[in-house]
């Protein structure tokens, strides 16, 4: 519900222009500034009976025209009358630019503020800007720079050498008193107040006024039917107290009324229809407007769209942005720029590597892929098959590039057959652990439908990181009859072995690069439970070295001091799939709100 009251007040400013009697020269005041250096500083204040009052300030500069013998447009400075600053006498700025009365009749007219560009004809030129700025609610200081004053022509003759001017404003001032309705609990910061009319111009970049014609009105060229007022410090609308805004407008009739738009901090707008009014020159119009929170409607909600979700590396993807935000961050989804790490620490872990040598031997077995290399982050290290199978394992076998060729004969414990061992790749096994501590194991199987078991011989198994070797099979000393559990890796035969007389075992190697080996082994012809399963568990818990990199950082699309762009582009240089997140801080009437927009971008 919007409520309003309406009032009109007339602004009048009086002044006297006198001359010294002994020299017939105007302007008895001493000059302190040149005309070009003196700025307009007329003071405005609320009048006791309502509306506005204007007062002269020392050295305010007016322009005076004369139709007499020394015709011209001369600057004079104000000397306010003590005790009544609405009246002033005026002094010359320089002796070569003053009026000399010689007894011949002359007519004078005046205006404020002085401008040398107005020339020697009694026509002033000024503008009524469509965008105006008020320092804070209730501040009136900007009016002196927006409101010109005129003084109607005054004629003198004979020995009457004194001119008394009566100044009046040229434009209209609209005072909008804003507040929230009684009972509203949300206070609303306001960015802008705007007046709009379809009937007459409210602002213009070029206005002229003929001072010689008392009835003349301002003539506007290229006028606009709107004028807006922004604030240096945003006023906050509350119930029970007015926030005062002042707009300077051209005189004119608005038979169909006007629209007042109040823009809140979040970009939402409350529109109020105002009744028909005629703005007269020199009048101050007051309008009280009381608003409900529901009157504020978002003109354009914040949103982001992507031009394409699939792009080629090196080609930009463009994002369209609508609505307004105070700040926008962009998380590309690339490493170190992921939204997932916007509020949690990113840790980098040192690489831990593993490699070994394997030889496959069998009479006619054809199980070239009998060995698997696996990693677990939840295996507790218990050395029994049930505990191993209860854990979750990640298969890394493919990364090791194991040779699957099988030799039909030869004992790889002898130097002459050592060449049957084939080295695996050096694999960064820590990449599969996600930064967690982990354990490693080899899984071996013999399946009855592939022509019998294939024996897997293992030597040279090693685990290391940048600091050195963490586990080395060479640290084992082979001793005949030593139990499998006394070596590392620990070889564990599964329940499938039953009463099988063929078992896994360790061996020493002579005159070779490695000194020991172990083999996964079972009976060639599988009976009973048929399948055979065995495991070699490395009896170490490996913990990657950890470095805390802190939070990831975004790219900044818009800072708090920038306007919201209508579009923004980003170029991915590497193929991949990226989770893109825009994080926007959007001011709302209940405080800042974070808006997230997510896209999955595929880069080919």
Residue 274's pLDDT is what? 92
Q: Residue 387 belongs to what H/E stretch? A: helix 385-390
The answer to which of 48-52, 89-93, 573-577 has the lowest mean pLDDT is 48-52
Beta bridge partners of 455: 361
Residue 522's pLDDT is what? 86
Place of tokens 């240089």: 573
How far is 278 from 273, CA to CA, in rounded Å? 15
Task: Tell me if 137 sits within 8 A of 91, measured CB to CB.
Answer: no
Task: Tell me if 593 sits within 8 A of 302, measured CB to CB.
Answer: no
Q: Please compute the mean of the pLDDT values over residues 83-102 and round it to a whole number.
A: 80
Tally of CB atoms within 10 A around 178 = 25
Residue 529's pLDDT is what? 58
Residue 163's pLDDT is what? 83
Statement: residue 302 has pLDDT above 80 = yes
Radius of gyration of the chain (CA): 46
User: What mean pLDDT, rounded, does the chain reach?
Assistant: 86
How far is 581 from 553, CA to CA, in rounded Å? 12
How far is 274 from 196, CA to CA, in rounded Å? 10
Largest Cα separation within the chain, whole Å, is 145
How far is 43 from 149, CA to CA, in rounded Å? 13
How far is 247 from 218, CA to CA, in rounded Å? 17
Task: Tell me if 280 sits within 8 A of 543, measured CB to CB.
Answer: no
DSSP class per residue in 421-482: -EEPP-EEGGGGTTTS-BEEEEEEEE-GGGSS--EEEEEEEEEEETTEEEEEGGG----TT-
Task: Tell me if 442 sits within 8 A of 431, measured CB to CB.
Answer: no
Statement: residue 324 has pLDDT above 70 = yes
Q: Please compute the mean of the pLDDT values over residues 345-369 and round it to a whole number.
A: 87
Structure token digits, residue 440: 């490693």
Residue 192's pLDDT is what? 96
Tally of CB atoms within 10 A around 337 = 18
For 369-381, b where at least 16 C-beta lie within 10 A, e where not — what string? ebbbbbbbbebee
Q: How confident is the model at residue 52 (pLDDT cuts 50, 70, 90)?
A: confident
Nearest Cα to 143, choosing from 71, 50, 220, 44?
44
Q: What are the structural domains of the chain?
A: 6-295 (2.60.40.2630), 303-344+551-603 (2.60.40.10), 348-537 (no CATH)
Residue 43's pLDDT is what? 55
Nearest Cα to 518, choosing from 478, 481, 470, 472?
478
Q: How many helices (H) and strands (E) does the chain have?
A: 3, 47
How far is 459 from 358, CA to CA, in rounded Å? 7
The answer to which of 19-28, 29-38, 129-138, 157-166 has the lowest mean pLDDT is 29-38
Nearest Cα to 425, choosing from 443, 398, 404?
398
Residue 475's pLDDT is what? 95
| Per-residue pLDDT reduced to its tens digit, 422-467 | 999 999 999 999 889 999 999 999 887 666 788 999 999 999 999 9
- State whether residue 468 is helix, strand or coil: strand
The answer to which of 19-23, 104-108, 264-268, 466-470 has the lowest mean pLDDT is 19-23
Structure token digits, residue 124: 């002033």
Task: Tell me if 285 sits within 8 A of 270, measured CB to CB.
Answer: no
Residue 451's pLDDT is what? 65
How far is 205 from 193, CA to CA, in rounded Å? 20
pTM over 0.75: no
Task: Tell me if 246 sits within 8 A of 259, measured CB to CB.
Answer: no
With a CB cutoff of 8 Å and minimum separation 6, the contacts of 483 are none
Statement: residue 318 has pLDDT above 80 = yes
How far is 301 from 96, CA to CA, in rounded Å? 62
């Amino acid at each position: 519900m919007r409520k309003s009251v309406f009032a009109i007040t007339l602004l009048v400013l009086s002044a006297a222009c006198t001359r010294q009697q002994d020299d017939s020269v105007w302007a008895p005041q001493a000059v302190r500034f040149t005309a070009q250096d003196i700025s307009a500083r007329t003071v405005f204040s609320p009048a006791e009976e309502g509306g506005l009052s204007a007062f002269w300030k020392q050295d305010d500069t007016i322009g005076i025209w004369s139709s007499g013998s020394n015709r011209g447009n001369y600057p004079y400075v104000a000397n306010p009358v003590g005790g009544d600053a609405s009246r002033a006498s005026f002094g010359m700025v320089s002796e070569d630019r003053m009026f000399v009365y010689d007894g011949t009749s002359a007519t004078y007219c005046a205006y404020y503020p002085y401008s040398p560009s107005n020339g020697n004809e009694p026509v002033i030129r000024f503008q009524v800007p469509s965008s105006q700025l008020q320092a804070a609610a209730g501040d009136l200081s900007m009016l002196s720079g927006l409101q010109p004053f005129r003084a109607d022509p005054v004629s003198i003759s004979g020995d009457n050498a004194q001119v008394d001017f009566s100044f009046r404003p040229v434009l209209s001032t609209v005072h909008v008193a804003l507040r929230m309705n009684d009972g509203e609990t949300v206070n609303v910061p306001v960015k802008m107040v705007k007046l709009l009319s379809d009937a007459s111009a409210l602002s213009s970049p070029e206005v002229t006024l003929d001072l010689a014609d008392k009835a003349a009105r301002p003539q506007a060229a290229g006028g606009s039917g709107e004028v807006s007022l922004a604030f240096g410090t945003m006023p906050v609308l509350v119930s029970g107290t007015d926030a005062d805004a002042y707009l300077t407008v051209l005189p004119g009739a608005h038979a169909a009324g006007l629209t007042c738009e109040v823009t809140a901090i979040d970009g939402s707008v409350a529109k109020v229809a105002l009744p028909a009014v005629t703005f007269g020159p020199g009048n101050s119009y007051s309008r009280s407007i009381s608003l409900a929170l529901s009157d504020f409607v978002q003109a354009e909600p914040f949103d982001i769209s992507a031009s394409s979700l699939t792009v080629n590396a090196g080609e930009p993807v463009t994002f369209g942005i609508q609505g307004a935000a105070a700040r926008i961050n962009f998380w590309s989804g690339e490493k170190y720029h992921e939204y997932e790490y916007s509020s949690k620490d990113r840790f980098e872990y040192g690489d831990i590597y593993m490699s070994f040598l394997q030889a496959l031997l069998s009479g006619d077995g054809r199980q070239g892929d009998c060995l698997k290399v696996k990693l677990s982050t939840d295996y507790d290290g218990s050395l029994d098959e049930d505990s191993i199978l209860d854990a979750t394992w990640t298969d890394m076998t493919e990364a090791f590039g194991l040779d699957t060729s099988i030799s039909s004969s030869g004992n790889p414990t002898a130097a002459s057959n050592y060449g049957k061992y084939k080295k695996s790749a050096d694999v960064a096994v820590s990449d599969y652990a996600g930064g967690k501590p982990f354990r490693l194991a080899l899984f071996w199987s013999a399946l009855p439908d592939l022509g019998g078991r294939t024996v897997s011989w293992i030597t040279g198994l090693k685990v290391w990181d940048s600091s050195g070797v963490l586990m080395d099979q060479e640290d084992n000393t082979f001793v005949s009859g030593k139990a499998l559990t006394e070596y590392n890796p620990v070889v564990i035969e599964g329940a499938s072995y039953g009463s099988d007389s063929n078992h896994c075992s360790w061996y020493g190697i002579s005159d070779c690069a490695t000194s020991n080996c172990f083999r996964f082994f079972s009976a060639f012809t599988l009976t009973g439970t048929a399948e055979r399963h065995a495991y070699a568990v490395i009896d170490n818990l490996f913990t990657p070295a950890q470095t805390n990199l802190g939070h990831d950082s975004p790219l900044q699309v818009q800072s708090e001091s920038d306007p919201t762009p209508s579009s923004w582009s980003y170029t991915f240089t590497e193929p991949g799939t990226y989770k893109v997140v825009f994080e926007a801080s959007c001011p709302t009437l209940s405080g800042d709100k974070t808006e997230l927009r997510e896209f999955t971008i595929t880069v080919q």
